[in-house]
Chain A
Amino acid sequence: MPQGLYYFMMKNDQTIQVMVDEDQTFEIKVAMNDIFNSIQVNGSFETELMYKTIQYEQTINPELIQITEKLKGLQESSPEYKTLVSKKLELEAQKMSYFQKLLADHPKSLFANFKVSGQNPAFRIDLPKEKQVHQYRSDFWKNVNFNDRRLLRTPMIGTKLTRYFKELTLQNPDSIVSSAHSLMKLCENNKEYFMVFVNWVMTTYEPGKATLMDAESVFSQMALSYFTYDKAFWSDTTEVNFIRKRATEMSASLVGQDGPNVISTDQFGKQQELLAKKTEYIVVYLFNPDCENCQKETPLLHEFYLKNKSNVDVFAIAIDTDDAEWRDYIKQKKLSWTNVYDPTNKSIYGKYFVDHTPEMYLLNKKRKIIGKNLKTFQLQTMIDKDKSGR
């Protein structure tokens, strides 16, 4: 079987871990009520090393846990806090040197690579506080041996990856993409890591599924950087073309960018220009008369519009419909804002990306996109936030 870490799991919830390399013929004797002290491994260097190391860690971990608990209740400026932090760093360094010796003695060992790679970097208390997290994030992958593909078949890489993106990276598109670029640079020559990391970031922050505002920004920047014909070795030309086309479509309407202009025709046959609107804010509303969510959102937005039309205009673009259905919808819902529809889609294509209807963009006075994937109830908050940030 593939080299990696495995759990033998029984129906009675008992579990035994084994670490397997190429030699997979071995025997274990163990008392399940005291696994770590009773285990005898015969024939598996990796599993034996794993349990010996767990035994070693048991001599240090209780003290480390105790210190971590004590630190939670102390002021950072207190002398006791500083003493405990020094002690904690000392114990962690002691553990690290033990693991590094394992690796020096057994450089090809899966377990030794697993253990050293899994260690978190030391927290740099010598640095100013504002730089500590940045440094920690920069050092986060430095112990990982990306030349060892077997580590992907342990839980360690996945745990680190989740922590790196979800805990050590601010949850906004630019920070996520910046962290991704730093990581991809470290493993650009390690094909399997490169492939799974690119795909993990793109699926974790997938537009429409991630709760992040403007997940399209993550998707498009990742796709345009890494889904190239030479880098995306796992994809065929058709898939690369499709993903790049989609990313390019998304990239025209990212938060922070200038809102693209749309010139299209209203229900009276008159030309309407989005950026010619004079109100302080413009909502670009892309909807389909037939969609269930649009049926719910349209009346809410229209009510908001009627209350705020002195400073918020709505430019409603109907998509995937036909002329009669669109006109009927306007009449039925008494939509008094600007309505446009282009049956050829030419005036809209590549401007405001829409994956699921309804889609709502908010443009500010400078006609920058300040929000997207919005619901009506969020508009006022976005407007207030924009005003307070001026």
Chain B
Amino acid sequence: MKYFVFVLSLLIWVSCKESAPKNQNSPVSLEADPGKDPISNPVMGGPTDIKITMTDLTYTGPVQIVGFYLDQNYIQDTTVAQNGIITYKSAKVCLRGFITL
């Protein structure tokens, strides 16, 4: 059983790794088949670790991360700013890997 779980985890990790090349100029899966539900199956990136330092603001409070899709926008996530510094971390979500398995 432990072996099975290990193999499963390995397969998921490999699958995620293959679909997300790190280098900016490496082939991005722009033309890959997005499947039956392309909106839920975007070209992913990450893991996400963004730090924004506002040198002239000491803002402390919520920050919404707003994304776009076609002519709509949506709240991708929320984070907080502390004394003018926004940090946002998010683990990579590898939808296709899980679906494939």
Of residues 26 through 71 on chain A, the ones whose CB sits less than 8 Å from some CB of chain B are 26-33, 38, 45-46
Pairwise interchain contact B65-A25, C-beta atoms closer than 8 A: no
Of residues 138 through 185 on chain A, the ones whose CB sits less than 8 Å from some CB of chain B are 147-150, 152-155, 157-159, 161-162
A81 contacts B by Cβ under 8 Å: no
B18 contacts A by Cβ under 8 Å: no
Pairwise interchain contact B48-A24, C-beta atoms closer than 8 A: yes
Compute the total of residue contacts between A and B using a CB distance below 8 Å. 173
A1 contacts B by Cβ under 8 Å: yes
A16 contacts B by Cβ under 8 Å: yes
Pairwise interchain contact B68-A149, C-beta atoms closer than 8 A: no
Q: Point out the residue from A22, A27, A108 that lies within 8 Å of B51, measured CB to CB.
A: A27
Whole-angstrom CA separation of A169 from B52 in the bound complex: 42
Whole-angstrom CA separation of A18 from B38 in the bound complex: 23
Pairwise interchain contact B70-A109, C-beta atoms closer than 8 A: no
Pairwise interchain contact B70-A23, C-beta atoms closer than 8 A: no
Within 8 Å CB of B31, what residues of A? 147
A122 contacts B by Cβ under 8 Å: no
B100 contacts A by Cβ under 8 Å: no
Asked whether A2 and B22 contact (CB < 8 A) given A16-B52, A21-B28, A31-B56, the answer is no
Dominant secondary structure at the A interface: mixed
Pairwise interchain contact B68-A24, C-beta atoms closer than 8 A: no
A312 contacts B by Cβ under 8 Å: no
Within 8 Å CB of A9, what residues of B? 63-66
The size of the chain A interface, using a CB distance under 8 A, is 56
Asked whether A22 and B36 contact (CB < 8 A) given A6-B76, A27-B53, the answer is no
Within 8 Å CB of B11, what residues of A? none
A20 contacts B by Cβ under 8 Å: yes
Pairwise interchain contact A22-B54, C-beta atoms closer than 8 A: no
Q: Point out the residue from A5, A22, A28 that lies within 8 Å of B20, measured CB to CB.
A: A22
B79's nearest neighbour on chain A, judged by CB, is: A8
Pairwise interchain contact A28-B62, C-beta atoms closer than 8 A: no
Within 8 Å CB of B71, what residues of A? 155, 158-159, 161-162, 200
Pairwise interchain contact B21-A149, C-beta atoms closer than 8 A: no
The size of the chain B interface, using a CB distance under 8 A, is 54
Of residues 40 through 96 on chain B, the ones whose CB sits less than 8 Å from some CB of chain A are 42-57, 59, 61-73, 76-77, 81, 86, 88, 90, 93
Whole-angstrom CA separation of A277 from B38 in the bound complex: 53
Pairwise interchain contact B59-A14, C-beta atoms closer than 8 A: yes
B101 contacts A by Cβ under 8 Å: no
Pairwise interchain contact A24-B45, C-beta atoms closer than 8 A: yes
A233 contacts B by Cβ under 8 Å: yes
Binds B, one of A188-196, A244-252, A300-308, A330-338: A188-196
Asked whether A24 and B30 contact (CB < 8 A) given A2-B67, A195-B38, the answer is no
Within 8 Å CB of A195, what residues of B? 38
Q: Point out the residue from B24, B38, B39, B86 that lies within 8 Å of A23, measured CB to CB.
A: B24
B97 to chain A, nearest CB (A): 15
B66 to chain A, nearest CB (A): 4
Pairwise interchain contact A233-B45, C-beta atoms closer than 8 A: no
A163 to chain B, nearest CB (A): 11
A75 contacts B by Cβ under 8 Å: no
Q: Which 4 A-B pairs have the closest CB atoms?
A: A158-B71, A2-B42, A192-B38, A22-B45
Q: What would 25 A/B residue contacts be, using CB atoms closer than 8 Å?
A: A1-B76, A1-B90, A4-B67, A5-B67, A6-B67, A7-B64, A9-B66, A22-B22, A22-B28, A22-B44, A24-B48, A29-B53, A29-B55, A147-B31, A149-B30, A149-B42, A152-B69, A153-B69, A155-B71, A155-B73, A157-B70, A158-B70, A162-B71, A191-B33, A196-B70
Which A residues lie at the B interface, using CB under 8 A?
1-12, 14, 16, 18, 20-33, 38, 45-46, 106-109, 147-150, 152-155, 157-159, 161-162, 191-192, 195-196, 200, 233-234
